[in-house]
Amino acid sequence: MTAIAQRYAAALADVALEHKDADKIRQDLADFLEAFADSADLRNLLSNPSVSADAKKSVSGKIAEKMGTHTEVRNFISLLVDHGRTGIAGEIQQAFESEMSRRAGIVDAVIVSARELSAPEKSQLTQALERVTGKKVQAQYQLNSQLIGGTTVRIGSTIYDASVRDQLNRLRAELESQ
């Protein structure tokens, strides 16, 4: 994510937590951006440089109001329009979700395994990751048959590689260096 998206996300997270309405703001932002993504006309209007910022804010504001969007989300959308940032709105939303999770002490983990893990295995792995990180872990599981066996885990920019493929590669490198 870009630093710009992260700055906007952090600002919206500050507002959401200050107003103690984070869930409503999170949902309203997601709903508006889904409508934005689904409407080519709205995307074209908001990205068209020949349309004035006031006209863009008026249209987006009316749509947001009709949707019953939280006032702070309407203000945020207006800010994005003012600064010409609607093109990265999806990235800002992802950064906002990550920021809210981070502030709640939750980390996202992508766990890749060679085979489908059972429920007890998933639970054990999640508990181990929570002990290592000291945070609550939201795990997303994926399959990759090229791993041969074992797992890889990505939390942020940190990768824990306990795959058979990685172990074989390290063994090969060690044998080649002798």
What are the tens digits of pLDDT across the range 136-149?
A: 998 899 998 877 78
The pLDDT tens digits of the residues spanning 67-126 come to: 888 889 889 998 988 888 888 888 999 999 888 988 888 888 899 988 888 999 999 989
The pLDDT score that the predictor gives to residue 120 is 93
Query: Class for domain 3-102, per CATH?
Result: mainly alpha
Angle, alpha carbons 167-169-174 (nearest 5°): 95
Provide the mean pLDDT of the chain: 87
DSSP string, 37-56: HH-HHHHHHHH-TTS-HHHH
The pLDDT score that the predictor gives to residue 44 is 85
Scanning 19-106, the segments in alpha helix (DSSP H) are 22-38, 40-47, 53-66, 71-82, 89-103
Domain extents in the chain: 3-102, 106-176
DSSP string, 116-142: PPPHHHHHHHHHHHHHHHSSEEEEEEE
3-state secondary structure of 107: strand
Answer whether residue 177 shows pLDDT above 90.
Answer: no
Answer whether residue 21 shows pLDDT above 60.
Answer: yes
**CB-based burial label for 146 (10 Å; 0-12, 13-18, 19+):** exposed
Residue 1 pLDDT class (50, 70, 90 cuts): low
